[in-house]
Amino acid sequence: MVYKLIDVDSSIGPVGAVVSGVDLSQPLSTECKEEIHRAWLENHVLFFHDQDLTPAQQADFAANFGALDVYPFMKAVDTHPNVIPIIKEADAKMNFGGDWHTDTSYQPLPPKATLLYALEVPETGGDTLFANATMAYESLSEAMRKTLEPLTGVFSPKMVHGSGGDYNSVAAKGNLGDAYGGSAEIAEQEVEHPIIRTHVETGRKSIYCSKPHTHRIKGWTRDESIPMFKFLTKHLTQEQYVTRFQWRKGSLAMWDNRCVFHNALNDYQGKRRHMHRVIVQGERPI
Ligand code: OGA
Ligand code: MN
């Protein structure tokens, strides 16, 4: 792939690339946006370092890739309705996103992109792992792919945000701060999506079901379904599909929820971590 305006280093691991030569706080030319979009589809996650972004600048950059979305379980910052703070205080125990998942896949229209920007990170720890769900899918046996492809998943936030979940509004107030909440009704809803998702822009297939967000395979019991989710998570999180990203203050990661899983490591007890998060609307998974 040839890029004229940006530098794209994809030697960092099985998924993702570090992009340099661009200041995301400024409006971008059509050609530059096109190159970033192409690099994103090619690499699934882009990482930018040394950026200095206000909430509005982060949101404006995200809006180059589609309409901005709203996360149903957290309040936005005062200065922008589409930017939510992800903060783990030094005395907090639980973190946000600390399990393998793609973002809000339990929604009818899950966001296609998430843009996470680091304002304050611990000196060590607090890295995020990314897994290439396309490579992982393509490496399954043909018989396994044929078995999985026709299956529908019943996705729900109830395992994490429902009354028994770790992130339900009562538990979350203690663990994740006052900004966390959300409606109990949304927390129990169920939606159907394919277990294996086809990317509308690339046509490639990826593993899409996950342990925290997929309640069961349609027509199967939950007990029957869980071993399949466990197997697929174990498969896709093998070393050969995973890139570990070390944040610096001013880093921004932009990932494609249609083909990459992520997991926020919670190995920095006693330290504060502060991020800003913007999501871009996606389409119904097919
Ligand atoms: C998220 C998330 C990961 C992190 O913002 O969706 O999972 O490293 N965050 O904070
Ligand atoms: Mn996430």
Task: Report the alpha-carbon distance of residue 163 to residue 161 in Å, rounded.
Answer: 7
Cα–Cα dist 145/235, whole Å = 13
pTM across the whole model: 0.94
How many whole angstroms from 143 Cα to the centroid of ligand 1?
34
Ligand nearest to the CA of 273: 1
Q: Tell me, in angstroms, the distance from the centre of ligand 2 to residue 28's CA.
A: 26
Question: 110 alpha carbon to ligand 2 midpoint, in Å?
Answer: 12
Q: How far is the CA of 100 from the centre of ligand 2 (A)?
A: 8
- pLDDT band for position 1 (50/70/90)? confident
What is the predicted pLDDT for the residue at 174? 45
**Per-residue model confidence (pLDDT) at position 71:** 85
Ligand at shortest distance from the CA of 95: 1
Contact residues of ligand 1, CB 6 A cut-off: 86, 96-97, 103, 114, 116, 128, 262, 264, 275, 277
What CATH number has the domain spanning 7-280? 3.60.130.10
What are the sequence ranges of the domains in the chain?
Answer: 7-280
Tell me the pLDDT tens digit for each residue of 93-145. 999 999 999 999 999 999 999 999 999 999 999 999 999 999 999 999 999 99
